[in-house]
Structure 1
Amino acid sequence: MSRPFLTGFLIFPGFPMACLTSMIEPLRAANEISGQEAFLWRLVAVTREKVRSSASIDFEPDQTIAEATDLDLLMVLSAPTARFQTSADAAKLRAMQRHGTVLGAVSGGVFPLVHAGIGADKPLAVHWCYKAAFEADFPGHVSSDRVIELSEDIVTAAGAAAAFDLSLHLIEQRLGPDISTEVACWFQHPVMRREGVGQAVPALSGNKAGEQLAPLVARAAKLFAEHISDPMSFADVAARLGITPRHLERSFKQSTGLNPTQYYRKMRMDAARQMILYTNDRLGDIGAAVGYSSAQTFAKHYRAAFGVTPREDRNRINLFRVKGNLSIPSA
């Protein structure tokens, strides 16, 4: 057969360790099951220094990004706050893509990837917990709610389980469906999720992840989501749906346990918290982005939702930034 398929994993401080192992272990198993060295992998970093993962376990890179050559695929693994410290490293990624290396990212890795000027014209799988932050940072980019997104020159996976599916896809392409199915069974991974599968997200009501809302409530929630920065009254939403406000309120209560106002505010607060934790946006701008003209009201509602003010939440998360990630301004 042809030479092994070589994947590089570009790791930043604070990268999610589960995303790395979820991609490597299926590839290792595929080699063992097939009896051949179909896949190889390398750890890549900006420098030769050890990189500490989110689980506080250190990884020693095999090479730096400047030294990386002959990669078929390079996957970026990082927290959403990670950035390339020099323009040269970002330029190296773009040059690799021009010369045939497929680039990709898992979970928060889409942030440094896009900051490097990659993926502007492609839908990128963005984990639901980063969606508001991603759209705030990159308003011109398409964030996908799907588990994985694949194209000829860029691939993205929304999280660790999605990274496993991505490796199964690579195995199926190279070794066929029988091997990929056996690998999935080795790990008791019940089904290989392909393109077009949506992410499972926790319902705001606390129902099971991915549980479907009643159709009428889902339509209203979609309108709410489209008007985070310019909130609609639920009376206006009811009018858009051709029903009475009372009917809408009853439907929300039955489906979510919350009234429309509570549900909408929780959507706005969750979006705000993503931006507090994962962007450099100033707090006043974040309040405006979720529809608050008053900083005091924004802080009051945020405290009611999370038990801390926006400033306290950002200061708290800055205390836990992995060394090498810059603090986020509070003002």
Structure 2
Amino acid sequence: MNGSEIFKVGFLIFPGFPMACLTSIIEPLRAANEIAGVEVFDWDVVSESGARTISSARVAFEPDARLADVGDVSLLFVLGAPTSAFEDARQGNGALRRLDRHGVTLGAISGGVFALARAGLIEGHRCSVHWCYETAFRDAFPHIEMTGDVITVDRRRITVSGAASAFDLALQLIEDRLGAHMAHEVACWFQHATMRGHGVQQRIPMRPSAAPDLPPLVARAVALFAAHMEQPISVAEVAAQLQVTPRQVERAFKKATGQSPTHYYRSMRMKAARQLVLYSKQSMSHIAQAVGYTSATPLLTHYRAAFGVNPQEDRRQINSFRVQGNVPLPPA
């Protein structure tokens, strides 16, 4: 691309947006301008009303404009929490649709994908969703195709899973405008070791003591468990599908994870339940059904055993970190 024209990016921030995601994409663009000695990239931070907006880190930002006045950007990213919503949904969603009609590429970073989906602007597109929001997103938007990639580009939609991925995307924008050498120099400035692109899967951080990979038999069993959250599958059924005995499954799980397959499966279901507790406003009965319980009673028991608090207490605790009703997001 021609680097002589300024490429302008907009960032729509909701209260409680992840500050790390914003700075991770702006700072590489700023550095590229500095190294190039010319303004190649420009950006505006905008909010629904143009009012001062507080991030998840409780740092306040003064937007450059209100959303309704934005019109000169080539690319606009939405940054927010899974529960972020416009105060005036009709006008806010209408402003996003107007930008789309005028050819602006729309995107979202981390939890911002929820707001973009609520606006109906990811219909028929694939999108990246941070791994810790997968269950909540699938529950809210079961018809939208979700990927575990760090970055997904589908026509005029760009979705990014988190802050580290936002840095990777900034490097791609720099490479597109100024070439691979400049992208490499910017990466070196920030000691950013690897530039990840489309098709690269997110990696879930693991404790140092955790095994980095599961044996094939266990991995296949885990995949079956993951596919049967709402309608649980028994260990015997898993064994039958894998053409082994239940005893073989038991031994393989004990050796690889230190847990029985039943306890491992329950842990998976509790982690999924916690996503819905923290990142949705669903009732406990709905959450229980989403992870395979016929009522909320056993969910409450297993949830407390797993996390030391019941779901309602957990939701109240995260509320103490919310800003104007929104949940802070993970930075990466």
Tell me the TM-score range normalised by the shorter chain: over 0.9
Farther off after superposition, 250-259 or 282-291:
250-259
* Alignment check: 8 A CA contact 1:204 1:256 kept: no
What does the per-residue CA deviation read over 1:158-179, in whole Å, with 9 as the maximum and x for residues that have no partner? Answer: 0100000011111111111111
Q: How far off is 1:324 after superposition? A: 5.0
Q: How far off is 1:316 after superposition? A: 2.5
SS in 1 for 2:69: coil
Alignment of 1:275-294 (within 5 A): 275-294=276-295
Instruction: Give the corresponding residue for 2:189.
Output: 186
Instruction: Give the corresponding residue for 1:41.
Output: 43
* Alignment check: 8 A CA contact 2:76 2:105 kept: yes
Instruction: Give the corresponding residue for 1:110.
Output: 113
What does the per-residue CA deviation read over 1:64-87, in whole Å, with 9 as the maximum and x for residues that have no partner? Answer: 000111110101111111012221
Instruction: Give the corresponding residue for 2:57.
Output: 55
* TM-score, normalised via structure 2 length: 0.94
What does the per-residue CA deviation read over 1:137-166, in whole Å, with 9 as the maximum and x for residues that have no partner? Answer: 111111110110013311011010000001
* Alignment check: 8 A CA contact 2:50 2:67 kept: no
Instruction: Give the corresponding residue for 2:239.
Output: 238
SS in 2 for 1:169: helix
Instruction: Give the corresponding residue for 2:330.
Output: none
Instruction: Give the corresponding residue for 1:20.
Output: 22
Partners in 2 of 1:132 and 1:82 — Cα distance? 17
Instruction: Give the corresponding residue for 2:166.
Output: 163
- Asked if 1:11 corresponds to 2:7, the answer is no
Partners in 2 of 1:257 and 1:184 — Cα distance? 40
Partners in 2 of 1:95 and 1:213 — Cα distance? 47
Instruction: Give the corresponding residue for 2:77.
Output: 75
**5, 27, 33: which one aligns with 1:31:** 33
In structure 1, give the amino acid aligned to 2:322.
R
Instruction: Give the corresponding residue for 1:207.
Output: 210
Q: How far off is 1:110 after superposition? A: 0.4
In structure 2, give the amino acid aligned to 1:18.
A
Q: How far off is 1:325 after superposition? A: 4.3
Distance change (3 Å), C-alpha of 1:175 and 1:205: closer
Partners in 1 of 2:78 and 2:24 — Cα distance? 14
What does the per-residue CA deviation read over 1:219-241, in whole Å, with 9 as the maximum and x for residues that have no partner? Answer: 11110000000110111101100
- Asked if 1:247 corresponds to 2:248, the answer is yes
Instruction: Give the corresponding residue for 1:149.
Output: 152
Q: Which runs of 4+ in 1 moved over 4 A?
A: 203-206
* Alignment check: 8 A CA contact 1:13 1:323 kept: yes
Any gaps of 5 or more consecutive residues in structure 1? 327-331
Any gaps of 5 or more consecutive residues in structure 2? 328-332
Partners in 1 of 2:258 and 2:8 — Cα distance? 50
SS in 2 for 1:118: coil
Q: How far off is 1:40 after superposition? A: 0.3
SS in 2 for 1:124: strand
In structure 2, give the amino acid aligned to 1:138.
F
- Percentage identity across paired residues of the two chains: 53
* TM-score, normalised via structure 1 length: 0.94
Q: How far off is 1:254 after superposition? A: 2.0
In structure 2, give the amino acid aligned to 1:225.
A
Partners in 2 of 1:8 and 1:307 — Cα distance? 41
* Alignment check: 8 A CA contact 2:11 2:79 kept: yes
Q: Which has the higher contact order (CA 8 A, sep 6+)?
A: 2
* Alignment check: 8 A CA contact 2:126 2:154 kept: no
* Alignment check: 8 A CA contact 1:204 1:263 kept: no
Q: How far off is 1:122 after superposition? A: 1.2
Partners in 2 of 1:258 and 1:307 — Cα distance? 19
Q: How many residues align?
A: 324
Partners in 1 of 2:164 and 2:326 — Cα distance? 26
SS in 2 for 1:44: strand
Considering only aligned residues, what root-mean-square deviation do their CA atoms show, in Å?
Answer: 1.6
